[in-house]
Amino acid sequence: MTRQVAQKLGQALLVLLAAFTVAFVLLQALPGDAVLIKFLGSEMGLTAEQIAELRIAYGADAPVWEQYLHTLGNFLRGDFGYSIRSGVPVAQLLAENLPSTLWLALLALTAACLLALVLALLSQLEGFGWVRGLARSMPSLFVAVPVFWLGIMLIQVFSFQLGLVSVIAPEPWEELVLPVATLAVPISAPMAQVLIRNIDAVFGEPFVAVARAKGARHQWVLWRHVFRNALPATLTMAGVLFGELLGGAVVTETVFGLGGLGGMTQQAVANQDVAVLQAIVVLSAFAFVAISLLIDLLMPLLDPRLALRPAGAS
Amino acid sequence: MSLSRRSLFAAPALLPALAASRGASAQAAPQRGGTLIYLEQQTYTNLYPPAAGHYPAGGVINQITDKLTYQNPQTLEIEPWIAESWTINADATEYVFRLRRGVTFSDGTALDAAAVAKNYDTYGRGNRELRHAVSEVITNYERSEVIDPLTVRFVFRAPSPGFLQGTSVIGSGLVSPATLALPFDQMGDATKIIGSGPFVVARQVLGRELVLNARRDYAWGPAKHPHQGRALLDSIRIIVNGEDSVRVGALLSNQAQIARQIPAFDENRIQGRGFQLFAPPTRGVNNSITFRPDNPMVADIRVRRALLHGTNAQEVVDTLFSPNYPRATSVIASTAQGYVDLSDRLTFDAALAARLLDEAGWARGANGQRAKDGQELALAAYESPNYARSKDTMQLVAQQWARLGVKLSVMAGDLGSRTVDSLDPLKTPLSPAMVGRADPDVIRSNFYPTTRNMLLQTGGVSRRVQSFSDPALNAQLDAIASEPDQAKRLLLVGEVQRHLIDQAYVIPLFEEPQVFAASPRLRGMGFEAVGRPFFYAAWLAAR
């Protein structure tokens, strides 16, 4: 067991180093660099000599390998450097943006799970054929709704027309209501789809027929047997979606004026703010590695069969 | 205010009285207190004053710093502020400023001659170690001398007639010596920017919100400003929201009191609801398209003139903008100093354009495209996200040119590619341009090779320019920078405008304002000469 964990940790470190290196190389390959963009692109009206001087001061023209080692060394010491665009330490940017992103992602994922669960249950409702049909067509609709449009509509109706929540200077409790709703709808769709399909599939398995033959009622079979077996794939899905939510909520963050990793990443990409991007890439890699590790550990609890096999085999 | 229907009918004499009382309340005594919510489209980034020209940063710096002088936004006269008085020698190489007594930065340090000298030494010469860049508005700076605690002298290597106006701009905001000891890379943290202005930074959530509180002991507003003493508002919350429809909707539903960057097509709706619209001019180089004549396609003046006359600026304004965006009548705005009206040289004349292109040898092919020696007349330009509706503007111009048989591709691209390609005349034969500054120097800094170099002449940052240089233009620009006599300077500015249009280097489109929408409750709102908000005398009337 200890050896397995050590192996996994070693893999994780390799993934992190690879992510760091690939990001560094790709960023170097782009045209222009942060110093040029900040001092020329932002139209400060500097002369050629002044820009050349600043480039020297930033070490922007040093050999690539030297810059790489320098940055890597700083990272290992926990120094993420400064954002040239924003003029603040990268650590400070992360500290101010990460919590709101985490909260938003966590709440949106929870809401999406509940929504997916409700849809999946409705899709198995006895009688009411039209409700089942409706529940099964909802995920396609949810996926098709553009997040941008949904966010604006929710704001227009609930904030500007009805005045129920404030978007501009919200109280802490109301701040995340609409953004969570906006994100939960599209996120719930793939989960609901997977869950419904798996429930259907499990219902077709022989052990269900056996249970039914023993006289078990539909509800009992659904909760006791089918659900437990349909859940693991959905959990994996939720893990991946959570990772995507951490950096992929740009549209929602922009529409609602929330700070967050998504907008921070977008700005850093646009401005080739290398220090920020390096930190984000390493952080994202770390998040994905940690989440998949967590899912791996959780799986055996849901599906005892997995506990018997060595991790990684399927 | 509720009047029953009966009393309205019964007492018609009341109506004029009512109107009068409403008129009076509009001019009622300003009320102190309250919090104003100001919606910004973007967050500020670096707040080192010479780098804080962009509106999101300028809107912060203009509240938290004072300047040596105040440029009256109506008259453009330079008036006393932190400097009570000043003298300038005949050739504008020495400036002596006498400072106001008792001014302090919000960290308690005195704003005295030593502090002013420290500020200008940094802005005038830069600081390599701390990566502070030189300010664009200060040229030929040599050194400062502290004569006594309230008197400072600045010495220049060569005449610097633009310096006095330069002391009034955002980029010359005075900050505490402690702030100037910070490296450039830490100046994006507003809480570390210590000024002497009417507001101080109270709280910041990076990228989202900045809270400014009024400084209770502030007693050194611009000397001739109608308001004196501390600011009227207690605090300002600057909240960032990048979505236009959300800013406008939030304002109209009273969740905020003022918003910047209002789309032209929303203006009618806002005014229709009884809200205010402010459109202060930016008084600099108009929103234009500039050519890079180093590119062989546009090296021929006939081609440039053809495109100038083939561009229908009136259609751009009518289609995309509002009356707040007047059609350009010269290279610089009609509100800029030294402006000359050149509208008779900027006519839209498609027939003339076609004739010029024929003369230049670009004949229409079977597909309607003009070509010469097998090469199509196809040009490219990047949109500029910082200018109002830049993409739409360029695309409309592209449609107008398509009718002439000229192809214009409008590129979006990332900032890195845009920055690099914009230095290469072969990749960008033309470029959108616009810059705000209320001094004749603006035209020089925009076109001079070693500064913004909009035409991409040799001698600038770019190493891709082969040979294009216009010595006659540069001589005129040099003269503007060093002519101490203001009247002569303004004449030179006129000559430069004529030269730029006669050579068809520039296609002026419209005068770009900064458009703000505000609640009817907001009174006393001010804007500096280039359209950044100044909340010093602003106040909120009761509902």
Give the residue from B265, B388, B398 showing the smallest Cα distance to B319: B265
User: Is the pTM higher than 0.80?
Assistant: yes
- Quick one: closest CA in A to B244, which residue? A255
B67 falls within a domain: yes
Indicate the pLDDT class of residue B472, thresholds 50, 70 and 90: very high
Do B185 and B289 reside in the same domain of the chain? no
Question: Each residue of B310-341: pLDDT tens digit?
Answer: 999 999 999 999 999 999 999 999 999 899 99
CA A252 to chain B, closest CA, distance in angstroms equals: 10
Please check whether residue A250 touches B, CB under 8 A.
Answer: no
Rounded Cα distance, A43 and B285, in Å:
14
Do B297 and B245 reside in the same domain of the chain? no
Rounded Cα distance, B381 and B411, in Å:
6
B5 falls within a domain: no
Rounded Cα distance, A229 and A306, in Å:
12
Do B408 and B301 reside in the same domain of the chain? yes
- Higher-pLDDT residue of B299, A121: B299
B364: β partners:
B370
Question: Each residue of A63-88: pLDDT tens digit?
Answer: 888 888 988 898 889 888 888 888 89
Question: Each residue of B448-470: pLDDT tens digit?
Answer: 988 888 999 998 878 888 899 99
For the cut 90, the answer to whether the pLDDT of residue B82 exceeds it is yes
* A311 alpha carbon, distance to own chain's centre: 24
Q: Do A160 and B252 touch (CB under 8 A)?
A: yes
For the cut 60, the answer to whether the pLDDT of residue A217 exceeds it is yes
Tokens of B231: 């600011």
Counting the structural domains of chain B, the total is: 2
Do B310 and B292 reside in the same domain of the chain? yes
Query: CATH code at B122?
Result: 3.40.190.10
Instruction: Collect all residues with Cβ–Cβ distance below 8 Å to B223 and sequence separation of at least 6.
Output: B70, B79, B80, B81, B84
Rounded Cα distance, A145 and A140, in Å:
9
Do B326 and B461 reside in the same domain of the chain? yes
pLDDT value of residue B19? 36
B13 falls within a domain: no
Q: Note whether A236 and A295 are within 8 A (CB).
A: yes
Tokens of A57: 């001061």
pLDDT value of residue B7? 35
Indicate the pLDDT class of residue A24, thresholds 50, 70 and 90: confident
Residue B525 lies in domain: 31-279+515-540
Please check whether residue B39 touches A, CB under 8 A.
Answer: yes
**Which of A276-280, B125-129, B305-309 is predicted most confidently?**
B305-309
Please check whether residue B433 touches A, CB under 8 A.
Answer: no
Indicate the pLDDT class of residue A37, thresholds 50, 70 and 90: confident
Do B332 and B410 reside in the same domain of the chain? yes
B15 falls within a domain: no
List alpha helices for B218-321, DSSP H: 244-252, 267-272, 301-309, 313-320
Question: Each residue of A267-290: pLDDT tens digit?
Answer: 888 888 888 988 988 888 887 788
Average pLDDT, chain A: 83
Do B394 and B430 reside in the same domain of the chain? yes
Please check whether residue B461 touches A, CB under 8 A.
Answer: yes
Rounded Cα distance, B43 and B58, in Å:
11
For the cut 50, the answer to whether the pLDDT of residue B200 exceeds it is yes
Question: Each residue of B130-187: pLDDT tens digit?
Answer: 989 899 889 899 999 999 999 999 999 999 999 999 999 999 999 999 999 999 999 9
For the cut 60, the answer to whether the pLDDT of residue A304 exceeds it is yes
- DSSP letter (8 states) at residue A270: H
For the cut 90, the answer to whether the pLDDT of residue B69 exceeds it is yes
Full DSSP string of B378-408: EEEEE--TTSTTHHHHHHHHHHHHHHHT-EE
Query: CATH code at B360?
Result: 3.10.105.10
Give the residue from B70, B173, B156, B60 showing the smallest Cα distance to B115: B173
Average pLDDT, chain B: 91
Worst-scoring range by mean pLDDT, A212-226, B93-107, B347-361? A212-226
- Quick one: closest CA in A to B249, which residue? A160
Q: Do B242 and A257 touch (CB under 8 A)?
A: yes
List alpha helices for A1-89, DSSP H: 2-29, 34-36, 48-58, 64-76
ipTM over 0.85: no
Q: How many CB pairs under 8 A join A and B?
A: 164
For the cut 60, the answer to whether the pLDDT of residue A190 exceeds it is yes
For the cut 80, the answer to whether the pLDDT of residue A313 exceeds it is no
For the cut 70, the answer to whether the pLDDT of residue B1 exceeds it is no
Do B222 and B241 reside in the same domain of the chain? yes
Tokens of A290: 């940690």
For the cut 90, the answer to whether the pLDDT of residue A251 exceeds it is no
Q: Note whether B194 and B174 are within 8 A (CB).
A: no
Q: Note whether A202 and A194 are within 8 A (CB).
A: no
Contacts of A266 in chain B (CB under 8 A): none
Give the residue from B215, B197, B172, B195 showing the smallest Cα distance to B78: B172
Please check whether residue A314 touches B, CB under 8 A.
Answer: no
Interface test with B, best of A88, A104, A182, A276 (most B CBs within 10 A): A88
Indicate the pLDDT class of residue B362, thresholds 50, 70 and 90: very high
Full DSSP string of B486-532: HHHHHHHHHHHHHHHHHTT-EEEEE--B--EEE-TTEES-EE-TTS-
**Burial degree of B512 (CB within 10 A; 0-12, 13-18, 19+):** buried
Question: Each residue of A139-155: pLDDT tens digit?
Answer: 989 988 888 899 999 99
pLDDT over 90 for what percent of chain A? 18
Do B300 and B412 reside in the same domain of the chain? yes
Do B504 and B453 reside in the same domain of the chain? yes
Q: Which of B129, B207, B417 sits opposite A97 (nearest CB)?
A: B207
Do B125 and B199 reside in the same domain of the chain? yes
Mean pLDDT of the A194-203 span: 87
Q: Do B416 and A53 touch (CB under 8 A)?
A: no
Give the residue from B441, B423, B442 showing the smallest Cα distance to B431: B423
B223 falls within a domain: yes
Q: Do B185 and A152 touch (CB under 8 A)?
A: no
Indicate the pLDDT class of residue B23, thresholds 50, 70 and 90: very low
Contacts of B423 in chain A (CB under 8 A): 40
B534 falls within a domain: yes
Indicate the pLDDT class of residue B37, thresholds 50, 70 and 90: very high
Q: Do B246 and A259 touch (CB under 8 A)?
A: no
Interface test with B, best of A74, A85, A86, A166 (most B CBs within 10 A): A86
Do B132 and B262 reside in the same domain of the chain? yes
Interface test with A, best of B206, B451, B465 (most A CBs within 10 A): B206
Q: Do A97 and B414 touch (CB under 8 A)?
A: no
Mean pLDDT of the B31-50 span: 94
- N-to-C CA span, chain B: 11
B16 falls within a domain: no
CA B448 to chain A, closest CA, distance in angstroms equals: 10
pLDDT value of residue B359? 96
For tokens 């940017």, the residue is A93
Mean pLDDT of the B493-504 span: 97
Q: Do B206 and A259 touch (CB under 8 A)?
A: yes
B8 falls within a domain: no
* B406 alpha carbon, distance to own chain's centre: 32
Backbone angles phi, psi at B443, to 5 degrees: -70, -35
Structural domains of chain A sorted by starting position, each given as residue range(s) with its CATH number in brackets = 1-85+273-278+302-314 (no CATH), 92-270 (1.10.3720.10)
